[in-house]
Structure formats: C-alpha cells, structure tokens
Structure 1
Amino acid sequence: MTSTTLLKNRGAHMSVQRQDTIVIGGGLAGLVIARELCAAGRSVTILEARSRLGGRVYFDSVKGTDESAELGGQWIDPNYQPLIAAEINRYNLEITHGDPGTEQRTVSGDQVLHGMLPIPPDDIVDLERGVWECLAASRRIEYGRPWEEQGLDDLDVSWAEYVRGLKLSPAVEEYLMTWTSASDPEQSSALNILVLFATFGHSAWAAYNSMELKFTHGTASLVDAITSEVRAEIHLDTVVAHVEQSADEVTVTTADGRTFTATTAVLATPVNTWEDVTFSPPLSEAKQEVSRLKHVGTGQKIWMQLTDTPAGGVLGWGFGKGVNWLLRDRQLSEGGDLYVGFTGGGSLDVDDHDAIRDAVRVFAPEAEVTRTFEHNWLKDPYAKGGWAVFRPGHFTRFHSELSRPEGRLHFAGADLSFGQQLWMEGAFETGFQVADRLLRRK
C-alpha cells in the first residue's frame, strides 16, 4: 500500500489477503511495530477494537467547553525516556511544561501539612532513612535482565510489607505507602516502585517530579505523527475473538466473523483483556493466570474544573478521601483552573460529583468543584484497568513469560515493559523489541 488506510467495520464474513503480520491493538506499541515493519517492506494489518487509535493514550475534547484533556497517558521525561525523546525529535513535536501548583499540601495522619516537607519535622531522620533504603534496594535491579535471574524475591512482596519491614515512624510509613497512589499497597508488589526508581536514575525525586512535561498539542500529535508513517491497512471497530496458529500461518477471526491471515501476529493489547480472546493452541498457563487474576492498577484519573483555589495552585499528596494526588494542569480561559486528581486503588466513585468535591477539599477546603470528567478505564472493555501495577510475586514468577513469543504469536504493550509500564516509554520499549525480532525472522 502507498498510504495508511483507515477502515471502519465493513461487515461479516470478509476475508482479507494474507499479510506478513497482523497487529492486534492500535495503541502506541502496535503502531510503532507496524511503522517499523512497513518501513522494511513488510505487509501489515492492524485490528483495533475501538473507533480510534492510541489505546490508553487518549486526548479528547471536554464536552461543553473549548478545552481538551489527556484522559489517558500524558507526561513524558526525555531525560530518562530515550525512546520517547527520539520520537519527539523524529517528528519535531512541541512539548511544554505543566503548571502543577506551588503550594504543596500533604495529608499526614489527621492533619494537612503545608510546604515541601511531607512529614512532621520530628520525623525527618526516619524519612531520610526510608528513602535511602528504597534507593539502595533499587540499585540491586539490573535493567533488562530477566527478573527471575536477579535474586529479587525478597523485594517481590507487597509494598505494605516492604515498608513495614523498614521500621519507620508512623508518619513516614504512611507517606511511603502513598507512593502506590494508583493501587492498594497491600496488593501491589514493591518492585513496581523500586524499578521505577531504577529507571529514573535511582532517584525518587526524579521519578515523582517527572509529571511536568507534556505534548503542547496533546498526545494526539504523537499518535497522528506515527500513523502518518504506517503504510498498513487499519481496521477500526474490529474486535478480535479468536487467534489460531497452524504450522505456517496465523488466522485471526473477529467477533463479527471476518478472518485475517498472516505469517505472524502480535498481541499488543492490555494484559487484563487477553482472557477475552480464545487461542488455539492456548496461551501458556502463566499468561492465562495473569490475565485471569488481573493486575491491580485500579487508580482512576479525574479532571476537574476548580474555582477559589490559591493563586499559585495546590499540589496535594497523601491518603485523603479517595483522591491521593491532586495537581493543577493549567488556567482556563473561561475562569478557574483545570486540575487532575488520581484515585487510590479504585476507592472513589468517579461518577459521584459530591464524593469528588469532598476528596478535593481535603487538600483545598476553599475550592469549589464546578465540573468533573474522565474516562473510566476500569469499565473500558478494551482496557479493564489503567496502567499496570503487578501483584506480589508476579514480577519474579511471570513477567519474563508475559513477553515470550508463542510460535508465530508475539506480545507487546506497556504492561510488558521491564520498568516503564506506567509510561508511554514502555509501549515504545516493547514495540521496538518485537519489531526487531520480527524483522530478524526469515
């Protein structure tokens, strides 16, 4: 093909000419795989269940306003994310600094602390020791080496168990627990946090200060730029139901009965959705178990229009009433500020305006919430969760297996990244790995 072809669902019982590769999933990983294969002269078909491309990267207009917002992935840090930095340079994409707010407020026990110090001054020595222990543990991690070969079983315990084992003061222990702001610290592995520090230069400050840079024209500018180079046939609104391998090809059947055949295929969809597809032969027991149990990244991202907040903006952090992280994105032309909040472990009903208002007022009692909006990734049938947060034991037992090819079927997506599963960088990491493997395949 000479250009990208976007097709809506064209009806049942359609058979398409055999391709070199079928890519299931049109998120960033799937798009970069298709781009690299097409550039090398391979024929590719992308099958995407949604009516849009981008996957969990979703830049959309806010109903009833002239504003747009990132409903999925948003922030980037080119200093520690070389692959996303290369994409920015490749397409000359504009990036800009966010405006998170200058007045930091941290929930500690039954009080809200004001200022940069997130714990009472009497606990600062324990804070220093706790952070040092975490960074020392992160230095045991060898990036890219299979987890099961690194002797990290003692760190693949719940974050709550790991933190309690440090024997810190209650205030510092509570503060460290909030580092798993998108999941329950009792259910998520400590390696989720420690590998994050490892990929950000073994720096807690760099890891949590990375939510600043973003695309000036939204992540849609990145998706559109990549898509412009994808010389493939792209089928939107196409739900995959069955993947069957034979000795010399892969046949993919959609929910409406269409069939696509290729020499190889790539499953580039969130791990939590794999159980919705039947595979012949079946996927490995480990892949089936992880998809069945689901990862525990149940945090939600909520956008809010707030008025009556401090002029400098509020940056809130800590266990509150459902919002564990609150930061300003920008001022709005119609008045007020646009804020984004993150729920912890799915504990807040994102459709309950009053509950969101109460959660915001933990950090900003003076604030008025005039509008809220979000995309509920937990209820999205093609995501079934937000960014991946793995359970205790899953890194050292299953992580390497998740990306292992099975016959002619390969696997990609940010969930499978070695250490950037929370970021767009992770999608590029696995996308390039799979594309390279397929290009080396005869």
Structure 2
Amino acid sequence: MDRLAADSREWFPRPYEPLRHPDLHHIDDRTVIDHFTDSGLSPAEREVGIGVWAEHFNGPAAVSGLTQAMRWCAAASGDWRLLHEATSGHRLTTGTASLAAAIAEHGTADLHLGTKVTAVSQHGPITVTTADGSRRTARQVVCTLPLNALTSIDFDPALPEPKRAASAERTASQGLKTWIRVRGEIEPFTAYAPDDHPLTFARPEYTVDGDTLLVAFGTRAADLHPTDKEGVTHALHRWRDDLEVVDVAGHDWMSDEFSRETWPMQRPGHLTKYLAALQRPHGGVHFAGSDIANGWAGFIDGAIESGLRVAGQVEAALGS
C-alpha cells in the first residue's frame, strides 16, 4: 500500500490534473491485481491488498484500473492511511439528503422532480423532451447522468463515439452495499475478504436501540441482493458466525434505471481513452458529475468540482 501511494505521486504529481503525465499510457492498462501480483507478497497478503481495493472499487479487482487507485492516493497526498481517513472517517451528521435539500433551498432554480428526460435535440433551440411528451427549450443544457445511464437519453445529434463507448463499456463498479442489523452491541471490528466472496468488507457503524448496525459491501450485485437476509447472513457468517442478524436493508443501484452503477470507478485504459472526451461539451450540452471529475472522482467532492468547472463553461457560452 505504501508503494502504491508513493508511485501515485510520481504518476499524478498534480492530482487535479490527472492527464498531465506524458507517459500515463504505460500504466493505464494495468489492474489492481497486476500491482499486488508484482509486489512480492505472500498469498494471504496479496488477498488482503486486493480485497481492500475491491471494496474501494465496489467491483472485481480484475476490472479495476490501477490509475484510478493511484488517483485516490494522490488526492490524499500519497498517504493511503490519510486516504482511508478521508474516505470513511467523516460523515455529514444530518445525512447526505440534507446537503441536497440545502442546495435546493439556497438556489433559485425551478425544480421538476420525478421528471424523466428521454431526448435532447439540438436542431435550433436545444429541446429537452420528457417521458410525458412535454418539451422545454434552453440555450444551454447540463447533463449530470451517471456514465452507465448516459445512453438512456436519445441525443440528436448523437453523442460522439468516445462518450457512447465509455458508457457501453461501463464503470468497474458493479457491486452492492447493505446495512446489517445484528443483535446486541458488539465490539468494533473490520473484515475484508477476497473479491470472489459475496461480501468483501464489513464493519460496525452505529448502535440502534441496543443493537449494532453494520455496513457491508460486495463486488457483484448480480450475485447477492442487499435485502436478501438469508444470503447476507450467510456471507457475514463467513467472518462472524457468532452474530445474529436481525434485519438487512439496501438499494440495488445496479438495477436502478437512473444510476445503473454504484460510485464511479474507472476500468483499465479508461483514464487516457475517455476522460477528456467525457468532459468535453457536445454542442450546447455540457457534462458534469462525479464520474468525470478530475480529483476525488467517485465522491461528492468530485461532483462539486465538476459542477464548478461546467458552470464556468456555461457562463462563457452564454456570454455572461
């Protein structure tokens, strides 16, 4: 892990300029498995390292791009311990939904919730068509769809090939997140497993009315539904068969038509092949979101960074 973090500063000396290094193509086709296979580790040590990054990617290590892992490390100043603290050591005390609500309350935009966009045409004024057949026109449009859901909209003219290819190839993330309520208050622990297990990570997060709430992740949502109590219990008992599962809860983000992914993580080769093209406007349509952020891709921070950048593009296009 120290070597990976140290290498990240060599390849990404400026984390918010991820394409700056001229020789990125030399390592962009490598996977997390490649890194840990070449590190001279014992089989058990290799399993732990791969398991840690499978949890970070929320996907199998075999499709997890090494440069994506390095980008996270570089954003944390090349310190993987700081990376873990930054990514999982702090929470919004009132929940993520409170942030969205505060943004909505502070802004002046007209919000149309539950309104599904089906098409965007740029012949004349930009026309946005919704599922109920209504149309709205605009001088500029910002699209923040997750990458895997990008092709669910009929763009006319069609999106450039790199955008369509990146969406078709999909992100590396294909996993699940489940909350597990177990009987009683238990001592803190952290569990990892290789990425061929149904769950690759679990740990206690909260206590609720005398019980403990665990958060757990797996790399393949197709193999385990986050609300499958029997399946989740079986997976948890691979680590801790002394824990009594009271209930489980979660959301299948992979099957959700508006996400079709969990948090966005790049496959090998995607950084140099697609990032610049994904960030590029398509006529009057601009693209933003955590999927295509420069720094902290996969986090709210990356979404904010991307939004600020695109806001500047739109402002310039409007001549403001």
**TM-score in same-fold range (> 0.5):** yes
Contact 1:303–1:339 at 8 Å: present in 2 too? Answer: yes
Q: 118, 121, 142: which one pairs with 1:244?
A: 121
Query: Are 2:3 and 1:133 aligned?
Result: yes
1:318 corresponding residue in structure 2: 193
Is contact 2:191-2:239 (8 Å) kept? yes
Instruction: Check if 1:144 corresponds to 2:21.
Output: no
TM-score w.r.t. structure 2 length? 0.91
User: One-letter code of the match for 2:31?
Assistant: S
Task: Encode CA deviations 1:328-359: one digit per residue, 9 max, x unaligned.
Answer: 111112x3111110112334332421121121
* Structure-2 separation of matches of 1:298 and 1:428: 23
Structure 1 partner of 2:212? 337
Do residues 217 (structure 1) and 94 (structure 2) align? Answer: yes
- Equivalent residue, structure 1, for 2:27: 155
CA distance in structure 1 between the aligned counterparts of 2:197 and 2:170, rounded to whole angstroms: 25
Aligned partner of 1:196 among 63, 72, 82: 72
Aligned sequence identity (%)? 27
Counterpart amino acid of 2:215?
Answer: V
The one-letter code of the counterpart of 1:432 is: L
In the aligned structure 1, how far is the partner of 2:280 from the partner of 2:244?
Answer: 50
Q: Is the 8 A contact 2:264 2:291 kept in 1?
A: yes
1:231 to 105, 108, 121: 108
Counterparts of 2:289 and 2:275, CA distance in 1: 13
Q: Please tell me whether Structure 1 or Structure 2 has the larger radius of gyration of its CA atoms.
A: 1
1:275-294 deviation line (CA, Å, top 9, x unaligned): 11111111110000111121
Higher strand share: 1
TM-score normalised by structure 1 residue count: 0.67
Of 302, 305, 308, the match for 2:181: 305
Give 3-state SS (helix, strand or coil) of 2:296's partner: coil
- Does the 8 Å contact 1:322/1:343 carry over to 2? yes
What SS does the aligned partner of 2:258 have?
coil
AA partner of residue 173 (structure 1): R
Q: Which residue of 1 aligns with 2:135?
A: 259
Q: Would the aligned equivalents of 1:309 and 1:366 in 2 still touch at CA under 8 Å?
A: no
In 2, Cα distance between equivalents of 1:321 and 1:358? 11
Cα distance in 2 between the residues matched to 1:318 and 1:344: 11
CA offset digits 1:407-427 (Å, max 9, x no partner):
111000110112322211111
* Contact 1:302-1:374 at 8 Å conserved across structures: yes
Query: Residue 213 of structure 2 aligns to a residue in which SS?
Result: strand
* CA distance in structure 1 between the aligned counterparts of 2:185 and 2:131, rounded to whole angstroms: 49
Q: Distance in 1 between matches of 2:198 and 2:121?
A: 43
> Which residue identity does 1:314 align to in structure 2?
F
CA distance in 1, matches of 2:295, 2:66: 13
State the 1:309 CA deviation: 6.0
Amino acid across the alignment from 1:180: A
- 1:321–1:362 contact (8 Å) kept in structure 2: no
- Paired amino acid for 1:150: P
Structure 1 residue runs without a partner (length 5+): 1-130
- Name 1:61's counterpart in structure 2: none
The answer to whether residue 249 in structure 2 is matched with residue 379 in structure 1 is: no
> SS at the partner of 1:215?
coil
Partners of 1:265 and 1:409 within 8 A in 2? yes
Residues 54-112 of structure 1, C-alpha deviation per residue, up to 9 Å, x if partnerless? xxxxxxxxxxxxxxxxxxxxxxxxxxxxxxxxxxxxxxxxxxxxxxxxxxxxxxxxxxx
Figure out how many residues of one structure are paired with residues of the other and give that number.
309
* Counterpart-to-counterpart distance in 2, 1:336 and 1:150: 53
Please list, as runs of the form range in 1=range in 2, the aligned pairs for 1:28-427 lying within 5 A after superposition. 131-139=1-9, 140-141=11-12, 142-145=14-17, 147=19, 150-156=22-28, 157-178=30-51, 179-181=53-55, 182-210=58-86, 211-246=88-123, 249-308=125-184, 310=186, 312-319=187-194, 321-333=197-209, 335-346=210-221, 347-427=223-303
Offset of residue 246 of structure 1: 3.1
Q: Which runs of 5+ in 2 are unaligned?
A: none
What is the CA RMSD across the aligned residues, in angstroms?
A: 1.7
Structure 1 stretches of at least 4 aligned residues deviating more than 6 Å after TM superposition = none
CA shift at 1:361, angstroms?
Answer: 1.7
- 1:144–1:321: structure 2 CA closer, same or farther, 3 Å change rule? closer
- Cα shift at 1:158: 1.7
Q: Tell me the distance in 2 between the aligned counterparts of 1:273 and 1:158.
A: 24
